[in-house]
Structure formats: C-alpha cells, structure tokens
A and B are shown apart, each in its own frame.
Chain A
Amino acid sequence: MAELQPLSFAIFVLITLATIGISIYAARRVRTAGHYYVAGGGVRWVVNGFAIAGDYLSAASFLGITGLVAFSGYDGFIYAIGFLAGWIVALFLVAEPLRAIGKYTFADALTSKFKSKKIRLVAAISTLVISVFYLIPQMVGSGAIVGPLIGLDYEIGVVVIGALVILIVATAGMVSTTWVQFIKGFLLLIAALALTIGVLVVAGMWPIGFLEQFLSGTVNIPTSSGVTQVPGEVFMSPGMKYTNPLDFVSLAMGLILGTAALPHILIRYFTVPKPADARKSTVIAIVVMGIFYLLTLYLGLGANFFGTLDPSDANLAAPMLAMHIGGEAFYAIISSIAFATILGTVAGLIMASAGAIAHDIYTEVLGRKTDEKRALRISKATAISVGVIAIVLGILAKGQNVAFLVGLAFAIAASANLPALLCTLFWKRTTEWGIVTGIVVGLISSIALIVVSPAMMSEGALFSLFNPGIVSIPLGFAVTMGVSLLTSDRVKSEATEKTAG
C-alpha cells in the first residue's frame, strides 16, 4: 500500500487547501460583505449548529463506526445510536442553562457559582485530559488514511500529518475554525450520502431490501488468518464484539452521558448570543448528525457486502469502500474529506485545551489578567504541546478502532464532568469540595479502569469490561453528591456556631 499515488495526492492537497482557503475567505466575508449579501441577521445559530455537528462528527463517526459495523455488525451500530442519543441530554438539560452561566470555557460555567480556583484548576485539567484522549483517535485516523494515500508508513504519517494539522491550527486557524467546522459538517454529510447512494446503486437494491438480504444470508468477516462466516441474524444482533452483556450496557451508558460533558462541544454553546440560540443550534446539529448516523449503518454494511475490509486496520473500511465504488478519484475525495474531518475536530479540541490553559490556568488561576497577547502565545504553545502528546499516544494506539477509542473519551467525560455540571446547574446543596472531589475521582477512576481493561492488558486484565462507564459514572455522581452532603453539613454547623457565638 505504501507508495505515492499522484492522482490521489493531487486531489488530497487540493481539497485540503480549498477547505482552509474557503474558511479564511468566509471568516473575512462576514466582516466585509456588502449589504446585498444577507438581508437580515439572525442566522448565527444555523452556522453554530453546523459547526457543532462538524466538531462532533470526528474520524470516529466516519471511519470508526463504518469499520465497526463492517466487522461487528450490530455492535457497531450501537455507537451510532449512542453518539446521537447523547444530544438529548445536551438539548433538554444542558444547552440553555449552560449558555446562561458560562462565558468562555467549561471551567467558567462551573466556577460561576463558587468563584473557586480549586474548581477551575481541576476542571481545566479534566478538559485537557479528555481532549488528549479525544485527540488520540484523530491521530490514529489520520495515520490510517494518509499513510496509504501519500505512501507513508503509519508512524511517519501520524507525525507528518499531526504536525501539519497542529501547525495550521496553532498559527492560522485561531480566527477561522468555526468556518472549518461549518464547511466540514457539510462535506461530511454529502460524502456519506454519496457513498450510501453508491452502495445501493452498485448493489442494485433498495434501502430496506439491502438490510433484509443481510439477515437472510451468511456474512463473511475477514480476519488475519482467513475468513469467518456467521449467520446474518447473529451479525445483525448484539453480541459480536460485546459478548458480555454488561459491556454493552457500560458502553451505551458512557455514550449517552458523555456527549453533554465534552469540553470542546460545550465551548460551542458560548459562541451564540442567547440561551435560546444554544437550543436552536443543538436542534440543527441533531438533524445533521441523525441523518449522518443512519447513513453510517449503510456504509459499514456496504463495506462488508463488497468485502472492502482490511483485517489489520478496521478504520480503512470507508475509504476502501469508496475505492471499490468510484475508483481512485472517489477514494481520494473521501479520504480527503475524512482528513478535513480530522482537521476540524483537532482544531476544536485544541481550542478547548488551549482555552483551559490560557484562560483558566494562566489568566484566572495565576491571575495574569492584563496580558492578552501573552495569553495567546501560551495558548499556541499549549496547542503544540498537546498535539505532540497526542501524536506520541496516537502512534502507540496503532490499529485500534477509532470509534472504540473515542468511546473511552466519552466515558471519562461522563464520569468527571457530567456530575459536576449537572449538580452546579440543578442541585442547590452542591458544595465546592463536592465538585472538586467528584471531578478528581471520576477522572482517576475512569482512566485507571481503562488502563487495567482488556484493551490495554490483553490477558489477565484486572477489569473485565472494555468501557469503564458503568462503574466510574455512578462513582463520579456518588462522590460529587456524597461529599457535597458531608461538607454542606459542616458549612451549616459553622454558620450556626457563628450565629450562636
């Protein structure tokens, strides 16, 4: 695979440059366009909605789910369902109240109530950790697609592409990432639609009929040592990957509760002027993503149907499917869009981590309020160092499915951030220590469980589930609320002592 294909490479460079170019142009046009262009205002939430979808639909959604469905059938589809279901939490519970209290970052929202430097510090750390975990799969994805495309080995691909992406984001992207996300959201939807139509046309079947024939026949799954055959009805039911039912529950829980706690998604809510706009943006995003996730089912099954699977790297199912359906040019286009996807998500993640360091830790915790230029320089330095960490970890995670890896980031977010966020918003008895310990325990427990899980320790794993959610999420809530109750008693008794004295 590792040789340079001139046509693919040319298309790849063209689409990447066009994405960056258009986003700069669009960012400028908003400022300088004549008044014939847009009559009234009030479309910020539409732009933001697409940008949210762009931020959220990462390599995991496109490359990862396609690969998982292709190899594990129904157990891959649960990712599509769970990734979308998480938005219901965002829509009904988080979007509007969060917009009302937050200004710049996730930590801002949490500290609106207590003005606590401790909370700000742990929230910033948790933002950084989750962003790095989310960055790893993006790096894995970029190495997987760009390697075959330009003819680089996986490791060099990750380093080169990772460095490129970080450079773009750290120098240029700071002004125009919103537009990268916006364009990317569009491109991805169109790419998925085109691929799905391609699958159905080449297979010569209607959408329902295509699913039906899977159920009635046998399904071939290529492995490194040959081909395994399974009955269609087994493939299209839960249990291919998650044989342990508890694993399925844990994953489903992590996915629905993780979305509304992802820092790079939450910062998007601070970009619109009113709480109602935050809700409207969410609705736009849900529509775009819902359609997209329905399509991923067809992409994955299509890849299985045409046998465009590489057992050594499940992440390549979508681009290989494109190659089969539309030849090299289509393959290059789909790979480029996948790359634009990664570029956009990395931009969002780096924004979130740089914001955590520059705004939360430098400006607020260390109290350097006056020096904005220096804060910006620090945010750029953060972007680069976070990126380097992600590149190294990305190389270590070679061959892991990207949707699976992102599922872990969701579980960490749900364990550390969601309890703190929901309690700050809705529970009056929450205390400063409740939030601090809740975040710390949620963060540490979920990461520790991942480290001792079967994915990290192939044999003799201390914890038998792939996803830590079912243990660490309730633990996060329990600690946040338990410590709050304990410390609120103390605060109250101190208060009575004072009045008594």
Chain B
Amino acid sequence: MKFKLTRKQKKMLYRIIAAGILLAAAAVITHFTELPWWADLLIFVVPYVVSGYDVLKTAAINLLHGQVFDEKFLMMVATVGAFGAGEYPEASAVMLFYQVGELFQSIAVGRSRKSISNLMDIRPDSATVIRDGEEITVSPDEVEVGELIVIRPGEKIPLDGIVEDGTSSINTAALTGESAPVDVAYSDNVISGTVNLTGVLKVKTTSTFGESTVSKILELVENSSEKKAKVENFITKFARWYTPCVVIAALLLAVIPPVILGIGSWDVWKTWLVRACVFLVVSCPCALVVSVPLSFFGGIGGAAKEGILIKGANYMETLAAIDTVVFDKTGTLTKGIFAVDDIHPQQIESAELLDIAAACESFSSHPVAQSIVRAHADHIDSTRIGEVQEIAGKGVEAVIDGAKYFCGNGQLMELCGADYHDCHLTGTIIHLAKQTGEGTAEYLGHIVINDEIKEDSAAAVERLKMIGIKRIVMLTGDKEKVAKSVAEKLGLTEYHAELLPADKVDQVEKLLAKGGKLAFTGDGINDAPVLMRADLGIAMGAMGSDAAIESADVVLMDDKPTGIAKAVLIARKTMRIVKENVFFALFVKAVILVLGAVGIANMWLAVFGDVGVLILAILNAVRAMRVK
C-alpha cells in the first residue's frame, strides 16, 4: 500500500537523519581525539537540540501549565540529568531514539487508520439523479426518497432503492465479504455501498443518505472504538498511576541512596542520578496505551472487511470468551422459505399430484402454497382452474379440469371424507383428494414441505464445535418433530421446541445460569428481547435491515451462519494480541526498572524499554487487522 508521509512527518524524518549523522560524527570525533569537557559536551548537545528542540519547547510550556507528569517533560529531565552525569552520548541518543519512536508511532497509526478507512471504502461520493428529464450529479445527501437515480457500471450505489429499469450484477463484497456477484433486475432491492458491475440501472430510492445502509454501517464502525473493553479501561487506570509512581521512585532513587552511601562523593551521586534517569526514560506507558486500542481498531476493521460488524471493543472481548451459541431456527439455521421436500402419491404419478396441487394452490398467498407452486416448474394454465374456495386454517377446494379437488391438511381430509394417512416424514404435510360423491373423496397422496436448512448451517455448527464451543443450542417455536429432525441433521448439542417468544427468554436465562458466555443468533427482527438478554446478540442477514443493525452487538451482513465461527476467531486473535502486548510491555518495563535500580540496566536498555517496546507493540497490534 502506498502511504505518503505528512509534511510534519517528513520534517521529523529529516531532523532525525540530520541528528543521526551529527551524533555519529560526534561519536567518531570523541573516539579518536581528546577534547576538553566543554567541547565534548557541545558536540553532543548539537544533535540533541536538532532532534529534540520541539520536545524541549513543549516540555517547558507544559511545565508552566503544571503538567509535571508529561512525557516530554520527563524525557527532558532524563536527558538533562544524563548530561549532568557526564553521559553525553547516551543523553543525545535517548532523545534521538525517542523521536524515532514518536515518528514511528505517528506513521503506524496513520497507516492503519488509513487502511481501515480504505477497507471501509464504501462511502459513495455522488449520485446521478433524474430531475425534469435531465441527469444531474449531486451529493448523495441531496437526493430525496422516491427520486430516480441512474447508476452506471463501475459506480457505487449511493442510496438504498428498488430497481425500476435495467439489469445488472452487483458486487456486495465491500459489505458482505462475499465475492460472488448478485444479479438484479426490475423490482429487486439494491443496497447502498455495493458496486454496480455490468449494466446501467435506474433505481427509485427508498431512503435518504443519512438513513441508508451505508451511512449506518460507517457510523457503527466509527463509533465502535467508543465502547471500551475491560482491558482498555484497566490500561487507562494503570497509566494514570504508573507515571507518577515511576517518577517518584526515580526521585527517591536519586536522593536517598547517595545520602546514605556517601553524601560527599560526586561519584555516588552520579551513579544514582543515572539510575534515576533510566527510570524516567521508561516512565511513559505509551506502548500500552497506544497498542491496545490499535489492536481492537484493527480487529474490528478486519472483521468489517469480512462482512462482520462488531459494535465495540467490549463485544470483541465477550465474543472471544463465548462457549455457548444459541440459534433461532427459522431464518437463521433454515432459510425461512418453505420448499417441497418429498411427494408421496397414491394411485397417480407424482408429477400429476404436484400438477393438480399446484393448480389448486396457484391463487393462494400462503408461504406453504407458494412453495408448491414454485416446485411445479412449468407454467400453470389458468383456464384449467374453475371455482376456488379457501377454507381458512384447512386448505382449499378447487375445480381443476372439471373435477373437484381438496388440497390441505388432515382436518380438510376428514371434512371431505377421504381415507388419508399421516406421513412418516416430518414437516408440513399437504394432502390431496378428489371428490367422488357427496361426502366421499378418493385420497391421491400428499406432499411433504419443509423449511429448507441453509447450505452452510451444517458447516457452521461443525466449525463452532471445532473451535471449542461447548453448547450449540437451537430454540424454535416450531413443532418438536421438526425441531428434532433439524437438530439431528445439523448435529446440535441441544434443542428446545414449541417455544413462545417469552419461553425463549426463559431458555436463555437457564443456559446463562450454567455459566460461560452466551451468544444468541437470530434474524434480529422479532427476537429483540432475547438478543438483549444474551451476553452477546448476533444478528444475521442484516443487509438492508435497520432493526437488526440496531438491536444486535455483532451484525453479520450476509445470512451465512458460518460467519459466527469466523467472528469468534477474529475476536480471539485480537484478544491474544492485546494480551501479548500488555504482558510484554509490563514485563519489559518491570525488568528494566529492577535492573535499572540495581545499576545493571543502562540508558541504552532504557531506550529499548521505551521506544523498542512501543515499536514492537505497534507492529504486533497491526497484525490484528489481517484476517485469515
């Protein structure tokens, strides 16, 4: 990735190079020649001032403001102290390295900020709207609901809307992480932030820009760093105490031992002064303070690239600790769309059974009826259909090709007097019978209809087991028999059927009582209470659904349940990086403080403890952004 330094960073870079050359020259000169002490000091002060004059300036200003624990001020005290103790090269080098660390931090943070905004490069810049028959280009903000916009191939779709004219395929990768394009035509919904690939589309807008999917997502990702994780709060508290404690320790170290060991000896004073300076150099908690939010920011950004929106660092923490995943069935593990599973004809061919049933149901809007019509691939000739009468809660009776048929559930069969029987398969059963006389009918067989399991539900469950999720539970309002068959097919550890919405909350409460962290996964539309009650609410298939985006803590843009395992892995990796950084930084600083106090750690090691740790922590934090 190309990354340009800002003017400020460039200037800093030149100063560092200049100071580095001057410092090297000073080291060479003093190595080969014997200079008076003042000349010696002078040639080391020059690179010191070149690299650090702004630090000195800010330090002075901050001191006037009473900021005693300011890192720049402490750096100044440490280096001046080192000069005073006669450690000229060390003093000059500490300042130089400090500036290298600052520059590195500025570049690394700027860079990851930029790559995350690139990653979330979904904000459309303009919209072409048709007003009074003319195409004009305006800012997406200025387009109103119901206006017609034109989107050419290669352009980002600026607002949510419905296709009025044209066909095209759409790349939703920026939102869902899914690389296969989606075909759209008249009356299909399109989502802002996706990219139009092949054809010109005319789209009627259904939202203003502020209310559009793209704005909601951007807002969510930008605000995600506001919700701080526990570890972040810990670091903040720690940072508040760390610096004052180290500074006071340094002060005591500089005064008390010399007073006891030899108040009259300059050498003793000098030794302890250097040790105190070592303390001051490692007194900044920068490595901790910057690397923790940087890791979370990276993790959230990396997840967003995969179509997983995590609403805050605190949720990242919970996600990493999940050991129970609860699924809602319909629309989450299953497609929420009914489909014909099997046809069991009696006396007639299965094609004929389906044909008659489809003709009977062709006027019904019920999802079950529509699934039968869909399963009948051919066109249904409406002239064949005579009088149709719906019998609420039971089915329909219809005249097809002159004969009267009954198409519906068991109750309807009893009503018409057909000798029917139940099926050994689970699901919704639609029976068909032909009237043979008043109150008698011939049974023709039945059609088994089921809510289809999503293609990757089984893979999702398997992956969750693989990554060590202990309990995978399904809750459903559906019948016991249906729930059992789905649970067995998917290999779930537990299921609870025939639940009312309130029962779902009770079940979640019971699972919560077993300990561990629990995530509830639903479509986010009618399971808001459960989403709230769980430790973590995950909404799926949220593309275009405001309710889901708002009610959940983690949002999967597409409707693939495999995203959950992916999200957990990203969260765990991020948490691991955060912990590595925290322990590493604390450990190195503690070691240097101890070694410094007894005189083993010198200024060089102290610089590593400050700048080195900072750079390593940042490099480690940046890894969180890389997913897979």
A and B associate in one complex: no
By a beta-carbon cutoff of 8 Å, the part of chain B in contact with chain A is none
